[in-house]
Amino acid sequence: MNIDYSVLKKYPLCDRCFGRLYGKLIRSSNFERGHALKLAKAIELEEDLRTALEKMNETSENPELKPIEPEKLEEIKELMYCIYKSGISGIKLDLIDNIEKYETKFKNEAEYEKNEDCDELCPWCKGIFEPENIETVAENVVNALSEYEFDSFLIGTKLPKRFKELEKEIETPFIESIRQEFGRELGKVVVPLVKRRVDKENPDIVVMVNPYNQKVTLQVNPVFIKGRYKKLVRGIPQSHWHCRSCKGKGCEKCNFTGKQYMTSVEEIIAEPFMEVMKGSSEALHGAGREDIDVRMLGNGRPFVIEIKEPKIRKVNLEELASKVNESGNVEIINVEYGVKKDVHFFKNEPHKKTYLAHVECEEKVSNEEVAELVKKLEDLTIDQRTPDRVSHRRADLVRVRKVYKAWPHMIDDHNFELKIFCDGGLYIKELINSDEGRTTPSVSELLNKKCICKFLDVLDVHDYEDAENI
């Protein structure tokens, strides 16, 4: 293969950086690889220059001999000088006549900087691999991590834009990014200091380092805790609602709380966890949601509480669950640590549900009519257009859902309870009242009576599909 040494004419890369251009070849450090490549080329160039000079002497004595091409000689001398300026001090500059010419050209065309001691800095690494720099960055990392509890971490390197552009300009098919090497070298110093393991797949904390200005930022990954919650009272939303009047800023209508409702399932669950884990914020992810005036009973609704940027990751989950349950409004069970995939599963996987609806009819209804209704509802396909009450925040679509089974319980001539096993996403209130014909068929349509859902409870969010288990 051909090694591109011409890059040294514009960028006098140090041995380490030149070796990094071919970092995927042979097992060696970048410094050793770069130094060896430069030495090999320097030896080759010196041999070529000596041969050329001898040939020049011969042609001066014998005009019949073909003279060496001046351009070829210039190229050899220029590259020798550039390799010398990139750190190979053993090159014999006395072989290069008129060296001032190459010094001037190099100063005019090459891109490099000098430090306070007037030593030329490599234009790519700028000395970031010097022990003093790595030790300072490592100290900054340790200080940043000191406030957090964690078992695993990963170091990432953030490059300023101009160094990204430089790397792109000089890259070869075998290049190793300077980000990778710096992260590896910094890790050798940091790991013994923090005594934590490196995890490339799912670290608790990602440490982002700018090696050029020694700045450190942390990406603290969230903790996920899953379980099932029961909402034991009506009148509480699942998540925090901003006041409709002030949009959360605080006004007289909301008593300057910024809230439409004083509390929520999310806030009741999150409060004890946030207090102990010291997160910056949180988010509740549920397998669906119930209306404010609907209770969530039975085995509860699957949920994941995501604690963002926690300073404490290991907590007594049973103790915190007990604090939640003391509220009397919300109860959580089966609490355990989860993973990010749980959020996707709970939010996106369909869950069949069982409801208990208190149905009130405008006209009298008989046992026989309700029994016939139950028969019609079994395995019944429902076409449900987005309910009018949620059309402002839901796409106007016709959704196809199914009722699998229903069980009745008569209360009086105008009221009965209906236990319904159905697809998730079926609006039960509209299944009963028809929503002005937007849901068809409906309980009102099947009974040919105007009916409303007076009360509604969710009895179960199923992890199974078998109606016989209900």
Given this model, what pLDDT does residue 215 score?
97
Given this model, what pLDDT does residue 467 score?
53
Distance CA(151)–CA(243), nearest Å, equals 40
Given this model, what pLDDT does residue 346 score?
85
287 and 358 co-located in one domain: no
Distance CA(132)–CA(148), nearest Å, equals 26
Given this model, what pLDDT does residue 241 score?
79
115, part of any domain? no
Q: ∠ CA(27), CA(33), CA(34), 5° rounding?
A: 155
357 and 340 co-located in one domain: no
Given this model, what pLDDT does residue 97 score?
79
Q: 224 and 343 in contact (C-beta within 8 Å)?
A: yes
Given this model, what pLDDT does residue 32 score?
96
The catalytic residue positions are 291
299 and 372 co-located in one domain: no
Given this model, what pLDDT does residue 117 score?
45
125, part of any domain? no
Using 70 as the pLDDT threshold, list the residues of the chain that sit under it: 59-67, 102, 108-120, 464-470
CA distances from 364 to 123, 414, 420 (A): 89, 5, 21
Given this model, what pLDDT does residue 61 score?
64
Given this model, what pLDDT does residue 458 score?
97
In this structure, what token pair is assigned to residue 312?
């404490």
118, part of any domain? no
Query: Number of structural domains, the chain?
Result: 4
27 and 74 co-located in one domain: yes
Strand (E) or helix (H) holding 231: strand 223-231
In this structure, what token pair is assigned to residue 280?
């910056």
238 and 323 co-located in one domain: yes
In this structure, what token pair is assigned to residue 440?
């068809």
Domain boundaries, position 80: 5-109
Given this model, what pLDDT does residue 118 score?
41
Name the 3-class secondary structure at 344.
helix
Q: Which residues have CB under 8 Å from 225's CB, separation 6+?
A: 273, 304, 305, 307, 317, 335, 336, 337, 338
Q: What is the CATH number of the domain that holds 326?
A: 3.30.70.2510
337 and 364 co-located in one domain: no
202 and 276 co-located in one domain: no
252 and 172 co-located in one domain: no
213, part of any domain? yes
380, part of any domain? yes
324 and 284 co-located in one domain: yes
232-265 residues labelled b (16+ CB within 10 A) or e (exposed): eeeebbbebeebeebebeeeeebeeebbbbebbb
The size of the chain, in residues, is: 470
pTM above 0.85, yes or no: no
Confirm or deny that 5 is annotated as ligand binding.
Answer: no
Distance CA(267)–CA(264), nearest Å, equals 5
Q: Cα-Cα-Cα-Cα dihedral of 31, 35, 38, 43, to 10°? A: -170
Of 348, 375, 408, the residue at which a domain comes to its end is 348
264 secondary structure, DSSP code: -
Given this model, what pLDDT does residue 347 score?
82
308, part of any domain? yes
From the number of C-beta atoms within 10 Å of its C-beta (0-12, 13-18, 19+), residue 348 rates as exposed
Confirm or deny that 427 is annotated as ligand binding.
Answer: yes
248 and 205 co-located in one domain: no
Of 348, 381, 397, the residue at which a domain comes to its end is 348
444 and 364 co-located in one domain: yes
Given this model, what pLDDT does residue 322 score?
97
Specify the amino acid at residue 269: I
185, part of any domain? yes
214 and 179 co-located in one domain: yes
Q: What is the CATH number of the domain that holds 420?
A: 3.30.70.3190
467, part of any domain? no
Q: Which residues have CB under 8 Å from 98's CB, separation 6+?
A: none
Strand (E) or helix (H) holding 410: strand 398-410
Place of tokens 């059309």: 391
Q: Which residues have CB under 8 Å from 132's CB, separation 6+?
A: none
Place of tokens 């099932």: 228
Of 348, 371, 387, the residue at which a domain comes to its end is 348
Given this model, what pLDDT does residue 91 score?
86
